[in-house]
Amino acid sequence: MAEAERIIGTPGTPDDGGERTAAPGAPDVSVADQSSAERRPGRGRRIAVLFAVAAFAYTLDLVSKMLVVAKLEHHAPIRVIGDWLEFHAIRNPGAAFGFGGAFTIIFTVIAAAVIVVIFRLARKLYSFPWAVALGLLLGGALGNLTDRVFRSPGIFEGQVVDFIAPKGFAVFNLADSAIVCGGVLIVLLSFRGLDPDGTVHRD
């Protein structure tokens, strides 16, 4: 009995931020096997991180677009780093980096679907890195979705405000940057074997 308790107690718990790994030869201890009292505090903190990161990314994107529309749109581009980086306001009907301009409504639906998926994943979220990654995705998706819904030419067909223009690259915005950073982080976490619930798969 003492040996069984030692094996089960080895992995980190959601409350202390540890990663759960299965001991060699021992059965997996799933999140569902833990009591609600054990799981609730850890998940609550991770969800708070997710929404804090999302709120920060969304606010930064929203404020930047408001400034660009008010101060930069219909004006000459502003050089930031010589010819290598400019702020150049454009309206983008497509996806990130100007892709797919003829499918505005489709990209609007995709952005809404991504947000729904993130909310569903949050129900089993115990990993801090995953909380940051999903927060970046959520904030970026909400930022561009806001443009799709509220900007011209109409609801669900609105054009996204882009303004960051590196030399030889497509023009993008801070929401695009948040989405890309979140996506890259998710890929890295997946390669590492870390799941949203904090479980680590060791090969």
Q: For the chain, percent helix, then strand, then coil, each to nearest 5?
A: 55, 10, 30
| Residue 185: CB atoms within 10 Å | 17
Catalytic residue status for 61: no
Whole-angstrom CA distances from 12 to 9, 29, 91, 98 are: 8, 11, 48, 44
**Catalytic residue (one of 147, 176, 195, 197):** 176
DSSP structure string for 119-182: HHHGGG---HHHHHHHHHHHHHHHHHHHHHHHSTT-TTTPPEEEEEEETTS--B-HHHHHHHHH
Cα–Cα distance measured from residue 16 to residue 41, given in angstroms and rounded to the nearest whole number: 10
Question: Is 161 in contact with 172 (CB distance < 8 Å)?
Answer: no
Cα–Cα distance measured from residue 111 to residue 104, given in angstroms and rounded to the nearest whole number: 11
Amino acid identity for residue 137 in this structure: L
**Catalytic residue (one of 16, 28, 83, 162):** 162
Cα–Cα distance measured from residue 50 to residue 61, given in angstroms and rounded to the nearest whole number: 17
Catalytic positions, written as ranges: 162, 176
